[in-house]
Structure 1
């Protein structure tokens, strides 16, 4: 299984705490979701809605030599916001190839199966899928 260094750190963090404490760790990640750069905060139309999420999650991926994920999720949806934060932080600075190699079932590695609903895990998988699609699109635009 191939994870970026950032995602591997997140998985390690979740696996290092007892199962009942993993939800609290997810909420801590929610508080760490990076703010949108002004160029996106002022132009939300540039962001893509993640339809797989019940909560309104929007994201945009920039690709230069590295991947930069920008995401927003409401504070009143801390689980979803936590997942967005894990992906944004865990993919930040990865090469496009590293980000594209992350397996679709990566959310399950966090060990949250009993703490959050399967619908929430599918939402995170949906975020990852959209991020990877946007990476492929950005690479195709550069080719």
Structure 2
């Protein structure tokens, strides 16, 4: 089972009104010019790995996710989805949707992102032959226990 993981929003919370974000101390790694790295809870790496999925970066961070985030989270370098140069997708479809379905190549997957809509879910249901969970995370808070529970529940039933 693949798990496509976005960074900004799910791992780095932002945009919550009047919310003071926690600051975490992780292992000594280079922030690589990413001043918000300390908003990422290093325990998320262990929790994501415990889901038993093949983790894949699905983020505009590209390989910077392996340079900065993987060590911070205690994860090995992960595969990175390379985004094709293309025009905007039609209608309300997220620009990542078609490339992720292509990358999955029929394999079951979970996609964790803060910008998912029903248009993406509908498109995947029609164009992807395997099971897929498109799970939207509230970018104001990042991944929460409720998000992990929803993913675990889906994985248990898929």
Q: With structure 1 as the length reference, what TM-score do the two structures score?
A: 0.30
Q: Which structure has the greater CA radius of gyration?
A: 2
Q: With structure 2 as the length reference, what TM-score do the two structures score?
A: 0.28
